[in-house]
Amino acid sequence: MISRRKFNWIYVGLWTLRICFALLGTGYIHPDEHMQNGEVTSGDLMPYHTIRTWEWSTALPVRSIVPAFATTGIPLWFAKFFIEKHLTQGVHPILLFRLERSAFLVISGLIDYSLVRPFSNSIEAVLVALSLLFLRKISRVTMLHKSYYLHLLAITFVAGIFTRPTFLIFGAPIAYQVALVTLTHARTAIRWLRLVVPPLFTAVGVCAAFLVADTLYFRGTPNGLVVTPFNFLMYNFASQNLAEHGLHPRWLHVFVNLPMLFGPWVTWLVVRVIVDSAILSNERNGKSFEVDVLRSTIIQMIILSLTVLSLQPHQEPRFLVPLLLPIIVLVANTGRLAHVGKAFWVSCSIFNFVLAVLFGILHQGGVVPSLFHLHSLVADPSLGTRTNIIYWKTYMPPLHLLGVNDRDVVTGSVSFIDLAGASRDDFAASLDTGNYDRTFVVTPVAMRYTLPPTITSCMELNRTIFPHLDLDHISESMDIGVLDGLRLGVYTLSRNCIFV
C-alpha cells in the first residue's frame, strides 16, 4: 500500500495530465462528441453556422436537449452574455472549444467524488457513478436519511435515461439492489411503500420536466409530446437504421472493445473476480454471510450490459464507457491488486498513456486546429468576399469551431463542403472555383500525393498542421514518410484551373 502523501502527489499529477489532455489535446475519437453536444448548443446560442445530425431532427428527435444544455450550454451562455456585454466581437472558436472541454473536465470530477479516481468524461458514465454512490449511501445510512438519497437516485435515473436510454441497462442492477436493501431495512411492506413512493413521484416530476423541455425545444409549443428515449429505442430497434452506421460481429464488445478500453490485464482480473464470486456463492449457498452489495451489483451490471449491448449488431467502444468506473471499483476492492507486481502497473500505465496520446492528441488531431486557422482567414475581408471550404478524407468537422456567421452561409458568402471519404473523382468534381474568390481544401498531406498533377499543380500549400493521424489511410501516410504522413494540409486552390 502506498502512503496517503504519495497517493496525493500521484493524484495531483494525474489531474495535471487530465487538464492538459482536455484543454490542449485536439484529437477526437468520434464526430459524435462534437455533434451530440457543442455543435447543437453553439448553434442555438451563437450566430454561427452549424450542422445538425439526424439525432436532432425535429421529425423524430432521439436526443434530449436538457443534458446538452446542462453541460455545455450553460458555460456558453455565460460566455456569450459577458463577451457581448463588454466586447463587440463574438465568442472566438478557440474559447468555445476550451469552454466545452472545461465543462466536461469539471463534470469528470464527479466520478472522483463518487468512489474512485478519474476516468470517463461522458455524462452517462458520471450518472452511473453517482448512482453507485447513492446505492452505497442507501445501504449504510439510517432510514431517516435513506429517503434523501432515494430522491437523488430518482433524479439521477431520469437524467440518465434521457441522456441515453441504455442507462437502463447499467441502472437496472442498482435499482434491484436498492429495492432489496430498502425492503430489508423497512421490514414491512407498508413501511417500504412509504419509503419508496415519494421518490417515485420525484422521478415522475423530473420526467415531466424533461418532456416539457424537449417538446418546447423541438416543437415550439406544448402540443405534440416529444419522448426522446422512446424515439431512440424505436430507431435502434430497426436493423436498417443500424446498418447505416455499420454492422459488427456480436463478439466485438467482449473480445475487442472491452480489452481496448481497460487493457487485457484489467479485463483478465475482472473475469477472475466474477469467477471467484460465482464459486464463493456456490460454496456458501444456504449459509448466512454478509452480502457485498456494491460488488454483486457491479458484477450484475457487467454481465447484463455486455449481454444486452452485444445483441445489437452496431457496437462501438464508447458504448461501454459507463463500465469504466464500476470495473475499476470491482478490481480495486477484491484484494487482487495487492498481489500483482510492478510489471502489471508499468504495462497498464504504458497502455493507458499510449491510448491517451493516440486518441487525445494524434487521432484526427488536425481537424479542430484547421477550423481555428480557417476562422482567421475567413474573418479577413481583404482576402476576398466569397469563400468555399472543402474537407476531404477527414472526420466530420464541427462547424461551430469554424465560427462563421450563419447569415454569411445563407447569403452565399461562405460555402462549406464535407466530402468525408468520397472518391478522387468526386473530389475533383467538387473543385469548381468559378463562383468563389477563394477556395480552401483541407485534406491529409498524404492524400495530396494520390491526386493527378492537373489538380496538385493548382493546390498551393497555405499551412500544415501537426500532428494529424489518419487511421483510415495508413498505407498512404507511410508511403510519404512519418512526418508528412502525420500532417493535415490546408491548401488554397488557384482560380481558373481545370480539374477534370
pLDDT tens digit sequence for 130-153? 999 899 889 887 776 788 999 999
Which residue, 119, 70, 122, 78, is CA-closest to 96? 78
pLDDT at 114 over 90: no
Query: Secondary structure of the chain: what % helix, strand, coil (to 5)?
Result: 65, 5, 30
Quote the pLDDT of residue 121: 39
How many H helices and E strands in the chain? Answer: 25, 5
pLDDT tens digit sequence for 407-465? 899 988 999 999 999 999 999 988 876 678 889 999 999 999 999 998 999 999 999 99
Angstrom CA distances, 197 to 55, 138, 153, 353, stand at 34, 15, 13, 46
Whether 124 contacts 163, CB under 8 Å: yes
Strands 414-418 and 459-465: unpaired
Quote the pLDDT of residue 238: 87
Q: How confident is residue 402, by pLDDT bands cut at 50, 70 and 90?
A: very high
When mean pLDDT is compared over 43-47, 51-55, 200-204, 357-361, the highest value belongs to: 200-204
pLDDT at 41 over 90: yes
**Mean pLDDT over the full length of the chain:** 88
pLDDT tens digit sequence for 359-394? 999 999 999 999 999 999 987 655 567 899 999 999
pLDDT at 37 over 70: yes
Q: How confident is residue 289, by pLDDT bands cut at 50, 70 and 90?
A: very low
Tell me how far apart the alpha carbons of residues 488 and 479 are, in angstroms, rounded to a whole number: 15
Q: What is the CB neighbour count within 10 angstroms for residue 249? A: 11
pLDDT tens digit sequence for 197-238? 999 999 999 999 999 999 999 999 888 899 999 999 999 988
Average pLDDT of the segment spanning 476-488:
92
Tell me how far apart the alpha carbons of residues 297 and 289 are, in angstroms, rounded to a whole number: 16
Long-range CB contacts for residues 141-145, cutoff 8 Å, separation at least 24: 143/185, 143/186, 143/195
Quote the pLDDT of residue 282: 54
Q: How confident is residue 309, by pLDDT bands cut at 50, 70 and 90?
A: very high
- Percent of the chain whose predicted confidence (pLDDT) is above 90: 60
Quote the pLDDT of residue 84: 73
pLDDT at 284 over 70: no
Q: How confident is residue 115, by pLDDT bands cut at 50, 70 and 90?
A: very low
Average pLDDT of the segment spanning 100-113:
85
Quote the pLDDT of residue 287: 42
pLDDT at 66 over 70: yes
Strands 459-465 and 488-493: antiparallel
Quote the pLDDT of residue 6: 83
Q: What is the CB neighbour count within 10 angstroms for residue 293? A: 18
Tell me how far apart the alpha carbons of residues 456 and 497 are, in angstroms, rounded to a whole number: 10
Tell me how far apart the alpha carbons of residues 133 and 141 are, in angstroms, rounded to a whole number: 12
pLDDT at 4 over 80: no
How many Cα atoms sit within 13 Å of 274 on the Cβ side? 16
Contacts of 232 (CB under 8 A, 6+ apart): 62, 63, 164, 165
404 against 108, higher pLDDT? 404
C-alpha cell at position 84? 457581448
Quote the pLDDT of residue 500: 55
pLDDT at 7 over 80: no
Tell me how far apart the alpha carbons of residues 258 and 266 are, in angstroms, rounded to a whole number: 10
Tell me how far apart the alpha carbons of residues 330 and 41 are, in angstroms, rounded to a whole number: 36
Quote the pLDDT of residue 381: 56
Tell me how far apart the alpha carbons of residues 386 and 405 are, in angstroms, rounded to a whole number: 13
Quote the pLDDT of residue 291: 45
Tell me how far apart the alpha carbons of residues 76 and 96 are, in angstroms, rounded to a whole number: 7
C-alpha cell at position 87? 466586447
Quote the pLDDT of residue 113: 65
Residue with cell 430522491: 151
